[in-house]
Structure 1
Amino acid sequence: MQSITQAPSRAQQVYHTIRDAICDCTLEPGKHLVQEELASTLGVSRQPIQQAMLLLKNDGLVIESGGRGLFVAPLDPVEIRHRYQIRKVLDELAGRLVARQAKRSSGFRDRILREGQDLLEQGEKTRKKGNALETVGVDMEFHQFIYSQSGNPLIASTTEPHWYFLRRVMVAVLLHAERGHTVWDQHCKILDALVSGDEDESARLARQHIEGAEEALIAALEKRSPPKDAAE
């Protein structure tokens, strides 16, 4: 994390910096967050740190353990399932809406095909490089592209807080899940269904993709040695 020198909203910058460090697993699950240390690292006072901690607790990324202080929240399989349940419904809806527009407009269809293929190419390149952060980043871009083309701006804003949580799960276990090729093959099939204007197939493939990712991530997570529970 870099020192913060200027900010129209110092607390917001601190929040974004710590949130990204948690999502990228620079600050790992179970990490004790000492506010004095964070303030020193970021070059700020304790006040914006305290404000950022409140926001991170609301996001579910930070937990409080009695008198022991604040910790990066553990990776909880139950919460992962809950968040994937929400994401599955929204991804199905986004798929249907994009396919519906593709069926009605050849210009829209040509554009999502072109932009979607660019993202697929980027994803394949990052997958081959084996860089988890970059691969997860492009994975997110692909899904957020679909949300943005759905015509319903509430889908993207509703999924945003869940992506913060899921991003760190994906970074933490992606390379252990061994789903890289499967993920991008499924992305390709989803794009094909969207471009063809098939609403039912787009929704079915989106649901199948999310369910597969959920099961693979939880299975990979359970194989890892669990981090020390901050609440113990």
Structure 2
Amino acid sequence: MEFGIQETLVEDSPLFINQVFESLLKAIAVGELKPGERIRQAALAARLNVSRQPISHALQLLKHEGLVRDAGRQGVEVTPIDPEYMRQLYQARKALEVTAIGLAAQRIADRKAPTAEIDALKHALENGHRTYDHHESLPLLIQADYKFHSALYQLSGNAVIGQMMSGRWAHLMRSMLIVLDDPYTPGRAWEEHDGIAENVLAGNVLDASELAARHLQRASTDMYKKLTELVVTTNT
């Protein structure tokens, strides 16, 4: 998929800069801009049909997120994936998501969850299975994964968890491009999603939380193993 922006905003406006930032963020998350790839502002400006000024501002925001870094005289590059950082990110993610899923199940049990949020989780689950069953591209499958977990954050009723995780999903998605490039892993992930969603929607707090913890621990272990193997291969 090609990334792009709307052309109806003034280039130096905060909204326009944010739009350029979001476009580049998505390009990094889904692998259109790959780890270690040099970022040439002139080429990006031409591709997005904008001047270099909003590109420069957006790149500064991406540096703050740790997704691009200085590359000496060559300008900037997409930050390579660091297995140790990803291991730590999954540790934090596990704590936040297990909490969110427990809260979501409790809201269901207490009959306090809005119907729209319940339907959003069901739709995200159905969409993920449809994307997987139809053998859609890996970036689309990863975006479906993001939407499923985002629906759980929303259903938790804790907006802070969603806000904290939202800024980390570009890191998660680009590592998932590597880990999920396996014929068995995506199917197993969606089976685990089924179990989590089933228990959340039944209001089973403890079972939902336990399944979430297992899911994230398994994902973390798979990710770290695959990324460290790639580092060893690249350095030999």
Q: Same fold (TM over 0.5)?
A: yes
The CA distance in 1 between the partners of 2:75 and 2:233, in whole Å, is 17
Letter matched to residue 217 of structure 1: M
Q: Comparing 130-139 with 18-27, which one deviates more in the overlay?
A: 130-139
Instruction: Decide which of 12, 33, 46 is 2:18's aligned counterpart.
Output: 12
Cα shift at 1:103: 1.3
Is residue 195 of structure 1 aligned with residue 201 of structure 2?
A: yes
Letter matched to residue 188 of structure 2: T
Q: Unaligned regions of 5+ residues in structure 1, if any?
A: none
Give 3-state SS (helix, strand or coil) of 1:176's partner: coil
Instruction: Decide which of 110, 113, 118 is 1:104's aligned counterpart.
Output: 110
Structure 1 match to 2:181:
175
Structure 2 match to 1:66:
72
Cα shift at 1:40: 2.0
Letter matched to residue 7 of structure 2: T
Measured against aligned partners, the alpha-carbon deviations of 1:10-68 in whole angstroms (never above 9, x if no partner) come to: 32222111111111101111000011221222222221111011100011110113333
The CA distance in 2 between the partners of 1:227 and 1:38, in whole Å, is 31
Any residues of structure 2 matched to 1:82-161 within 5 Å, and which?
82-105=88-111, 108=113, 114-130=119-135, 131-161=137-167
The CA distance in 2 between the partners of 1:70 and 1:227, in whole Å, is 25
Q: TM-score, normalised by structure 1?
A: 0.88
Q: TM-score, normalised by structure 2?
A: 0.86
CA contact (8 A) 1:27 1:72 kept: yes
In the superposition, relative to structure 1, how do residues 117 and 49 fare at CA in structure 2: closer, same or farther (>3 Å)?
closer
Give 3-state SS (helix, strand or coil) of 1:74's partner: coil
Any residues of structure 2 matched to 1:211-230 within 5 Å, and which?
211-224=217-230
Q: Unaligned regions of 5+ residues in structure 2, if any?
A: none
Letter matched to residue 164 of structure 1: A
CA contact (8 A) 2:5 2:20 kept: no
Is residue 206 of structure 1 aligned with residue 212 of structure 2?
A: yes
Measured on the aligned residues, the alpha-carbon RMSD in Å equals: 2.5
In the superposition, relative to structure 1, how do residues 115 and 67 fare at CA in structure 2: closer, same or farther (>3 Å)?
closer
Is residue 46 of structure 1 aligned with residue 48 of structure 2?
A: no
Letter matched to residue 5 of structure 1: E
Q: Report % sequence identity.
A: 29
